[in-house]
Amino acid sequence: MFNFDEANRKGKEAMDNALKGYSDVARGFQAIATEATEYSKKSFQDMAAHMEALTSVKSVEQAMELQTSYLKSSYESFVAEATKMGEMYADLAKTAYKPYEAPVSKAMSMSNAA
């Protein structure tokens, strides 16, 4: 005999898990967007400060030294940010996959047993 209470409970569990998964993924995207915004602001502020400092140099040598220093720090900042964003996207992918992990591994073990 079909158990409606059990089917209802399973359906509610599935819906709760799906909503939790969507919520976690949305939070991940929000964190990435916030990080990108903060990096953009900082990058713009750094560039503005560099341009201001560049206008006050007295020689070509000072300008080249200042420019070299700015480019080096900008590159290092970009690499660090790209690494951080890559880790955030990897975490987001893991979070998005988590609800499917158990059913996929169960399906794989069933197909290997056959």
Residues 14-64: tens digit of each pLDDT: 788 778 888 888 999 999 999 999 999 999 999 999 999 999 999 999 999
State yes or no: pLDDT of 3 exceeds 90.
Answer: no
Instruction: Report how far residue 49's alpha carbon sits from residue 105's, in angstroms, rounded to the nearest whole number.
Output: 53
State yes or no: pLDDT of 8 exceeds 70.
Answer: yes
State yes or no: pLDDT of 110 exceeds 90.
Answer: no
Beta-strand runs (E) in 1-114: none
Decide if 28 contacts 91 (C-beta within 8 A).
yes
State yes or no: pLDDT of 113 exceeds 70.
Answer: no
As a three-state string, the secondary structure of 20-40 is HHHHHHHHHHHHHHHHHHHHH
Decide if 96 contacts 21 (C-beta within 8 A).
yes
- Determine how many CB atoms are found less than 10 A away from the CB of residue 68: 10
Q: Is 46 helix (H, G, I), strand (E, B) or coil?
A: helix
Residue-averaged pLDDT of the chain: 88
